[in-house]
Amino acid sequence: MSYSHLTMADRIKIETYQAIYNWLYVGLIDLDLSVLRRKGISRQPKETGGRFRIGTPIAKRPKEVRNRETFDRWELDVMVSSRGKSKGI
């Protein structure tokens, strides 16, 4: 048996059928999504961006480097672009 979103909205007397889909996606309605007449675009979880773990953190570097007390220790921050090319800034 398959249900139309409009049929369901009419049966439970709500004005918008989008609320039904929201309830389905969060699990408030115990109904398998495969019984819907139109499947629509499946919702995918948003990607979480990773973090670069390159190099030594500033907090773990020698004290004279962190405080920039000596002239001979230069630090260069490097930015890696999404195209794979690095640029010194």
Domain boundaries, the chain: 5-35, 58-88
pLDDT at 32: 73
pLDDT at 15: 66
pLDDT beyond 60 at 17? yes
Contact residues for 33 (Cβ-Cβ < 8 A; gap 6+): 24, 39
Using alpha carbons only, give the angle 19, 25, 28 rounded to the nearest 5 degrees: 75
φ, ψ of residue 72 to 5 degrees: the values are -80, -5
pLDDT at 87: 55
pLDDT at 19: 77
pLDDT tens across 18-74, in order?
777 777 778 887 777 676 666 556 666 677 666 766 777 777 777 776 676 665 555
